[in-house]
Amino acid sequence: MKFYGKYDKVLTGVISGLVFPFIVGITIYLFSSGHQSLHSYLVRIADSSIITHSITLCVFPNILIFMIFNRFDMLRATRGVLAMTIVWAVIVFGVKFLV
């Protein structure tokens, strides 16, 4: 078994698929906020009606995690990332059509 075999779990993929979009979102906030508070930045996004675009932009890098797990043949973790990406997609559709 390879050294990364112990991380080949669905839970690893779910956690990384959940946490990585938040890290990307915080990074985008730090580079584009213009010294605004997080609350005023989120209000500006909500007022601009680009909530779904912002969520999609944050979730898109999950492809990178998916491809890394796939390259290392960590198929269980890949399933977890895919599952979380589908959950994010359902959230995006819910926000788009219900809000």
What pLDDT, in 10s, does the model give residues 73-88?
999 999 999 999 999 9
Residue 49 structural domain = 5-98
pLDDT, residue 98, reads 87
Question: Looking at the 3D structure of the chain, how many domains does it have?
Answer: 1
| Cα-Cα end-to-end distance for the chain | 48
Q: What is the pLDDT of residues 35-83, one digit of tens each?
A: 899 999 999 998 998 999 999 999 999 999 999 999 999 999 999 999 9
**What count of other Cβ atoms lies within 10 Å of the Cβ of residue 64?**
12
pTM for the full predicted model? 0.86
